[in-house]
């Protein structure tokens, strides 16, 4: 039985189930553990969308990691990227000399992470890589190297497992396509 049943009414379909997510996050945690063996990476959670993914992912990594949180605004309340990226909350600690893994919920145009990678590159990290839960490769407008992704998805506006529309739906355990009537889009 679904918890949050009232929120499911606003979806046209469930795209990725909680079971599929759990399996992919476990596999990604194993991969990161292997790739960063002998290192102590700092994982940066991009608030708020990546928060649910982040808390699950870090518990699947068997390394002495540290965590940081950063908030970036790029979308406002709509469903299309504005291209305007602003750091709303910066890191608490210096990352110079550290192996950095940016953890994001979804890469769409790529603008947000291209900008963020540039900003972090000026801070002399030893390495910077990106791990995203979802990727929409068909929507990319700026080149971006995404080292890790759990799922490639088609061009649709999705919510759940941390992803919101107007701050809602983050608590859906699955990822679903939001019905266009909710945001006044085309069906």
Residues acting as catalytic residues: 108
Q: For 39-183, where are the E strands, in sequence order?
A: 42-47, 66-73, 86-89, 99-107, 127-135, 148-152, 158-159, 175-178
Q: Which helix (H) or strand (E) holds 14?
A: strand 11-16
Tokens (6 digits) for 55 = 């808390």
Query: 53, 54, 75, 161: which one contacts ligand 5GP (CB under 6 A)?
Result: 75
HSE (side-chain half, CA atoms, 13 Å) at 123: 17
Here the tokens at position 117 are: 């990678």
CB of 103 to ligand 5GP, least distance (A): 11
Angle formed by the axes of helices 18-35 and 51-58, to 10°?
A: 60
Closest separation in Å from C-beta 66 to ligand 5GP: 22
70 binds ligand 5GP (CB under 6 A): no
Exactly one of 7, 14, 100, 107 binds ligand 5GP (CB under 6 A); that residue is: 107
Least CB distance from residue 40 to ligand 5GP, whole Å? Answer: 26
Instruction: Single out the residue of 172, 167, 181, 184 nearest to residue 53, CA to CA.
Output: 172
Residue 10 interacting with ligand 5GP (CB under 6 A):
no
Among 41, 164, 174, 176, binds ligand 5GP (CB under 6 A): 164
Span 122-141, contacts to ligand 5GP by CB under 6 A: none
Size of the site for ligand 5GP (CB under 6 A): 19
When asked if residue 163 is in the footprint of ligand 5GP (CB under 6 A), the reply is yes
59 alpha carbon, distance to own chain's centre = 16
Q: Which of 53, 54, 69, 157 binds ligand 5GP (CB under 6 A)?
A: 157
Q: Which residues in this chain contact ligand 5GP in the complex, by CB under 6 A?
A: 49, 74-75, 81, 104-112, 157-159, 163-165
């Amino acid at each position: 039985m679904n918890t949050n049943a009232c929120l499911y009414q606003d979806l046209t379909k469930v795209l990725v189930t909680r079971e599929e997510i759990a399996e992919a996050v476990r596999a990604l945690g194993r991969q990161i553990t292997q790739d960063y063996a002998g290192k102590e990476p700092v994982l940066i959670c991009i608030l708020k969308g990546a928060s649910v993914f982040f808390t699950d992912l870090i518990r699947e990594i068997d390394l002495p990691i540290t965590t940081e949180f950063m908030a970036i605004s790029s979308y406002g309340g709509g469903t299309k990227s504005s291209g305007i990226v602003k750091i709303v909350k910066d890191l608490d600690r210096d990352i110079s000399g550290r192996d950095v893994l940016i953890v994001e919920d979804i890469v769409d145009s790529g603008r947000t992470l291209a900008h963020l990678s540039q900003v972090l590159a000026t801070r002399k990290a030893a390495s910077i890589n990106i791990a995203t839960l979802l990727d929409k490769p068909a929507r990319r407008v700026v080149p971006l190297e995404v080292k890790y992704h759990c799922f490639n998805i088609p061009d649709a506006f999705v919510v759940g497992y941390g992803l919101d529309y107007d701050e809602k739906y983050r608590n859906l355990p699955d990822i679903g396509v939001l019905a266009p009537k909710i945001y006044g889009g085309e069906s």
